[in-house]
Structure 1
């Protein structure tokens, strides 16, 4: 089995865990067409009844951003909302092949238009994913991505790095991920038992304290759907994470990895929080697209995730800046502004969005992960039992 076939098998069997007779929606950039075809084949081999391909294309998106009105770029389509609802009702699984082939494609365009999206469609897809649809996101190697990482379009070298990070270099990648998922899940249970009320990140340029909700639950590795079917929402994953109280975040963070937002590269980002709200952002590059995204909706300026990742992560050990959020967020601790996870509180999956919001979880059409971890970072938690060390100098000590 070649590397692409191993990749597809892992995403289908351990990621979305496609079941016989199940439909699959496969979302991908056209740059990943070859890989998408192999993933579709693997899904059918696993028993999928139908694979629905949904393709995006960067140059076509640039044309839209250049010429369509801001209102059009932001307007949701009834047929698209109906399609998402049908996927949810029919129990489809979702596979997303991520990986930006050209982070400079939108350079020179209006950041507000670049960041624009049909908000209702994004929210509907999140509701479907949090409402029973199993999903998995994996980054698909392409020459443009290799150019970003290595300065040359060395696709073979990128596949080697991705294969190591995704454990495709092992005899049984699916079994390896099941074991890693169990380890991360155990860390989550230890954190649950502490009943923490806040978490603090301290590192070079970072000092952020975030409040946690009563009944907070930490997730590591995979999830299990209502039918008891396990799946991995992200491959790779090296994190333990939860969603905080959206009204309690104070301090500053300095990114230790670049991030791509709405197709644009952002470097040197510094974000300041007060009373749970992002009140200031600066960056060496790409600050305008960050500011535009933060105007998307009322929840886009508040946190939806806090996470813990230590230097034992395979991505961290690779010593490579992947220029891809899915990988780089698993190289160090990160936070995300935007949408919260409903499973972050006891009984959250069974609650209405309004009830989750009332409890303190955030609601937004965006969810942007930014990495603040690495050498020198310390993370502590505070709860009824006092202060506890979780990570010291990027090493898990709890």
Structure 2
């Protein structure tokens, strides 16, 4: 086994999930993540945690959804009980087919997602962390040789997270103190209200309200949105490539949309429920260990010199006590490149120009 796999497992268990002796841990394993699962199981055993592992496969999901021709069980109690009783959930992504559910009808995927909202909420209430084990399918999707892709994944994942957390705290402080964000870029003129919101310093640890490994972003939940935005970073959503998605917002809601590719999928996403037409997240990428797009949101949204906005659900960590944020069965991130002819401003002050923050060399 590559030593980096064991190091990945140790970072996940110790830094990210902060697992302790006696913790009840659910380990969700994609079909291609077996090696990482073995290393994580060993680490959990060494720390005296309790383990239940579940297996996830796009082919299994496809077979079930295509065959199911009746109503899905609403908030299935047997599945929810697993997460209601878990301290931590570790999700190991690593598919063997990035388009495994591409021929499942959108309406069936939406119905299934809505039926499992309670399960999702129970999982999100745990100390959950999602990470990725490199597979050949993911390397192919990224347009990289497998060995090259493995190096990329570990360069992004095995970081000095404490140092990055310190740097990202600069942006968190600016957003916490700010009231309005303005994004100016080709095809984008967007204003977002962030007053009374709390930004998350997403440093790949639940101690920072961060649930992705790798991470390296600062995000918040917009209270209001006006203007237009173009997402020029292609990505695969529900097995479909989305390219140059353009959205227009009025009173916080999408009122116009178009896309150079994947417009039907965009329409399906926006039709999921009322909250799908509103934003749940504004995120700013700050991980310079991610140096290229790979058509994988876990990495691409963290890449330095990008911003991303999520349609759908807002995270409670960004909201004032007692305030309900945007609710939806989806949370779908879309990414814009900020490396050229762009500014990111807070309360009229430019904090990033052409992807470089004001405290960095070359601003």
Task: Tell me the TM-score normalized by structure 1.
Answer: 0.82
Is 2:201–2:217's contact at 8 Å kept on the other side of the alignment? yes
Shift of 1:123: 4.2
Cα 1:389/1:396, change in 2 over 3 Å:
same
Q: Secondary structure at the match of 1:271?
A: strand
Shift of 1:392: 0.9
1:389 aligns with 2:350: yes
Shift of 1:258: 2.0
Is 1:199–1:380's contact at 8 Å kept on the other side of the alignment? yes
Is 1:206–1:372's contact at 8 Å kept on the other side of the alignment? no
Which one is further off, 57-66 or 321-330?
A: 57-66
Is 2:131–2:214's contact at 8 Å kept on the other side of the alignment? yes
Q: CA deviation digits over 1:75-115, x for unaligned, max 9?
A: 4322222332222xxxx111112344423333444232244
1:85 aligns with 2:84: yes
Q: 1:197 aligns with which of 179, 192, 195?
A: 179
Task: Trace 1:289-368 onto structure 2 (pairs within 5 A).
Answer: 289-309=265-285, 313-315=288-290, 318=291, 320-331=292-303, 332-346=306-320, 348=321, 351=322, 356-357=323-324, 361-368=325-332
Rounded to whole Å, the distance in 1 between the matches of 2:95 and 2:187 is: 28
Is 1:149–1:323's contact at 8 Å kept on the other side of the alignment? yes
Q: CA deviation digits over 1:159-201, x for unaligned, max 9?
A: 10111111x3xxxx5xx112212221243123323xx222111
Shift of 1:52: 1.6
Is 2:13–2:40's contact at 8 Å kept on the other side of the alignment? yes
- Aligned Cα RMSD in Å? 2.4
Rounded to whole Å, the distance in 2 between the matches of 1:391 and 1:178 is: 22
Is 1:308–1:333's contact at 8 Å kept on the other side of the alignment? yes
1:64 aligns with 2:64: yes
In structure 2, stretches of 5+ residues that fail to align are none
Cα 1:125/1:329, change in 2 over 3 Å:
same
Q: CA deviation digits over 1:104-140, x for unaligned, max 9?
A: 33344423224443425334433553x4x21211122
Task: Trace 1:126-205 onto structure 2 (pairs within 5 A).
Answer: 126-129=121-124, 131=125, 133-150=126-143, 154-166=145-157, 168=158, 173=159, 176-193=160-177, 196-205=178-187
Is 2:30–2:92's contact at 8 Å kept on the other side of the alignment? yes
Cα 1:216/1:239, change in 2 over 3 Å:
same
1:217 aligns with 2:198: yes
Alignment match, 2:337 = 373
Is 1:135–1:231's contact at 8 Å kept on the other side of the alignment? no
Shift of 1:249: 1.3
Alignment match, 1:32 = 33
In structure 1, stretches of 5+ residues that fail to align are none
Shift of 1:22: 0.6
Q: CA deviation digits over 1:295-329, x for unaligned, max 9?
A: 2222121111112235x7221xx2x2211101000
What count of residue pairs does the alignment treat as equivalent?
A: 355
Q: Secondary structure at the match of 2:241?
A: strand
Rounded to whole Å, the distance in 1 between the matches of 2:113 and 2:103 is: 22
Rounded to whole Å, the distance in 2 between the matches of 1:67 and 1:148 is: 28
Q: CA deviation digits over 1:236-274, x for unaligned, max 9?
A: 2221111111xx212222213222323433223222222
Q: Secondary structure at the match of 1:64?
A: helix
Task: Tell me the TM-score normalized by structure 2.
Answer: 0.89
Alignment match, 2:234 = 258
Rounded to whole Å, the distance in 1 between the matches of 2:58 and 2:34 is: 13
